[in-house]
Amino acid sequence: MADTLDGYLARWAGTDPTRDAVRKALVAIAGATAAISGVVADGPLAGELSATLGKGADGYDEQKELDVRADALLFEALKGAPVAAYASEEAELPVAVNAGAPLLVAVDPLDGSSNIDTDVTIGTIFSVLPAPAGVDPVSEAAFFQKGRDQLAAGYTVYGPHTALVLSVGEGTVHFVLDRASGTYRLISERVTIPASAKEFAINMSNHRHWDDRLRLYIDDLLQGKDGPREADYNMRWIASMVAEAHRIIIRGGIYLYPADTRAGYTQGRLRLIYEAFPIALLMEQSGAAATDGRTPILDLVPEKLHQRVPLIFGSREKVERVSNYLTGPGEIAERSPLFSKRGLLTA
């Protein structure tokens, strides 16, 4: 019988008190995601899960019924874990959980909300951080830590089966929910993302809004065997970042969600703390990479709780190639006289 999440975490934690605290937080998160999976599986039988209840914390994204339910399940689960404060995409500010506890948790309770009513894969993304000494854990500032400060991170995808992918800093581990027992069972203890794959994910409808250098990269891919990449590529776009990440975890490729010239998108669209940081940790721990186009995501330091960021992740050689298009002259200077425009990159 396959090993369980509980068993894996117990062996990893041993007698170390910090690791044991992380273990308890991850077990609580996993329990909540198993419950969310049940709600997702019921679909319309569980109510109007895609009903719009209002706007998200920054007034841009619509807040759906399932967003709120998922958030409540996670928060309730963490009340029994050593977590001092909880930050969520669904709330403007962090909320207190257990005073004096050593950890912070940041989450996107339900990624891909626009896909709820179409039965397309959605998910939960989470990050576990140390509660910093001398800082109020319920303050936004407590969460302004580098991505490399994460003690653990991961996501759950709710698709044909429910998968949990996480890292505690010792590689990336893949589990699948056994619905009969409600237990996550180990599938792979050492995920390695293929170094190269002929797939890319980007929303092509925004082509006209991109930086010229990014357009040049995508146009080169679209030329296939006749272009400079000398290979035919397939494009994917699910509009659920966590689902795109899971596909890359399994078979490689690259995902791009750049900043662009539209209002509300000039600094990127995805959230740094509870979306980009967790995915970037999983990518690096799987031998892949994640960047904002210039800097590794895990080296960034947040300045706002709901800060947005351009995000490019996937097979390392592909991420490095995109970064070369965006930041280095080389062939780009020769082929694109407009390469100096900086629409993709943050200032």
The domain segmentation of the chain, as residue ranges, is: 5-188, 199-335
Known active-site residue 89: yes
Predicted confidence at residue 195, as pLDDT, reads 87
Q: Is the per-residue pLDDT at 56 higher than 70?
A: no
Instruction: Find how far residue 33's CA is from the centre of its chain.
Output: 15
Predicted confidence at residue 60, as pLDDT, reads 64
pLDDT digits (tens, 9 = 90+) for 175-221: 999 999 999 999 999 999 998 889 999 999 999 999 999 999 999 99
Known active-site residue 331: no
The two tokens of residue 78 are: 């963490």
Among 65, 71, 89, 244, the one annotated catalytic: 89
Among 110, 216, 221, 282, the one annotated catalytic: 110
Predicted confidence at residue 98, as pLDDT, reads 98
Known active-site residue 275: yes
Known active-site residue 189: no
Predicted confidence at residue 20, as pLDDT, reads 98
CA–CA distances in Å: residue 214 to residues 175, 210, 257, 341: 35, 6, 11, 10
- How far apart, in whole angstroms, are the C-alpha atoms of residue 311 and residue 260? 12
Known active-site residue 119: no
CA atoms lying within 13 Å on the CB side of residue 117: 9
Average the pLDDT over 125-139 and give the result: 97
Q: Is the per-residue pLDDT at 262 higher than 50?
A: yes
Q: In the chain, pLDDT over 70 holds for what percent of residues?
A: 92
Known active-site residue 67: yes
Predicted confidence at residue 250, as pLDDT, reads 96
Q: In the chain, pLDDT over 90 holds for what percent of residues?
A: 87
- Phi, psi (deg, nearest 5) at residue 33: -70, -30
pLDDT digits (tens, 9 = 90+) for 274-300: 999 999 999 999 999 999 999 999 999
Partners of 86 in beta bridges:
95, 105
Known active-site residue 48: no
Predicted confidence at residue 35, as pLDDT, reads 98
- How far apart, in whole angstroms, are the C-alpha atoms of residue 202 and residue 215? 11
pLDDT digits (tens, 9 = 90+) for 299-338: 999 999 999 999 999 999 999 999 999 987 654 544 544 4
Q: Chain-wide mean pLDDT for the chain?
A: 92
Among 90, 199, 220, 292, the one annotated catalytic: 90
Per-residue pLDDT band at 341 (split at 50, 70, 90)? very low
Choose between 153 and 230: higher pLDDT: 153
Among 211, 275, 284, 292, the one annotated catalytic: 275
Q: Which three-class secondary structure state does DSSP give residue 120?
A: coil
Predicted confidence at residue 42, as pLDDT, reads 95
- Which residues make up each annotated binding site? 89, 108, 110-114, 203, 255-257, 275
- Which residues make up each annotated binding site for substrate? 111-114, 203, 255-257
Known active-site residue 42: no
Q: Which three-class secondary structure state does DSSP give residue 30?
A: helix
Per CATH, is 199-335 categorized as 3.40.50.2300? Answer: no
Among 26, 49, 67, 177, the one annotated catalytic: 67
Q: Is the per-residue pLDDT at 51 higher than 70?
A: yes
CATH architecture of 5-188: 2-Layer Sandwich (3.30)
Average the pLDDT over 132-144 and give the result: 97
